[in-house]
Amino acid sequence: MKEFWKFAKDCKLASKSLPLAAIDVIFVRSNWKSSEGSGDIHNPERELIPGEFSESLLRISSAKYDGSARTLSQKLQTLIDMNILKFAGRADPNKWRRDFARPEIDSVFKEYYDDLWKVFYCYSDGPCRSKSAKRHTGTMVVEEFMNLCKDAKLLEGSFSSVKIYSIFANVQQDEGVSEAEIGAADSEMIFPEFLEGLAVRGCRLLE
């Protein structure tokens, strides 16, 4: 159960409509046995097997967005996009950075470094900047990153613009960047973060 609580905390699942006590109840209700006292080793008590975990997500999404006109599947999709994909990977933000620093990945970036810098430089001087913003500051705002993804046809299938926003948030070196700050004037991506964002999107293409 402690792993489930860590998951719930990392993904910021608790809210006014879904207090911590309600999440505890959802865990208990999702953790059922195939038959009372069966002792099934594939369905241990106080642990969630994959089917029960999926059920808990459905219950959480239903409770979290209670009163919404959205269907249950839409509520689940919102939960996955806005909470799970956005926050689950940030429990250890340096782990995936270490993974992307592996020699085989680093060699790819080195091979295309100059070309990627030109792309970054081009899009970071786009029309998304405010009139008062300085030109060529070496940073990219979220709208510019989104424009690049659209032009490169990285928005395809089930990979929505919400997930691009999520990538932009997750690669921020500043752990203080909040959801509300994404898209604000001071929320900008530097070139190393841009490379990390491309690596994240590339990995998603292979999933």
Taking the chain (207 residues) in consecutive chunks of 10 residues, what is each chunk's mean pLDDT? 80 86 88 54 67 93 90 93 79 63 84 91 68 59 89 79 80 52 59 85 61
Neighbours of 71 (CB within 10 A): 9
Q: How far apart are CA 9 and CA 7, in angstroms?
A: 5
* Residue 42, pLDDT score: 52
pLDDT at 38: 47
The answer to whether 12 and 83 are in contact (CB under 8 A) is yes
Rounded distance between C-alpha atoms, residue 191 and residue 86, angstroms: 21
Strand pairing of 139-141 and 188-190? antiparallel
Determine if the pTM surpasses 0.85: no
Tokens describing residue 26: 């959802």
Predicted pLDDT at 111: 92
pLDDT score recorded for residue 94: 62
Select from 176, 7, 32, 194 the least CA-distant residue to 89: 7
Q: What is the reported pLDDT for 34?
A: 44
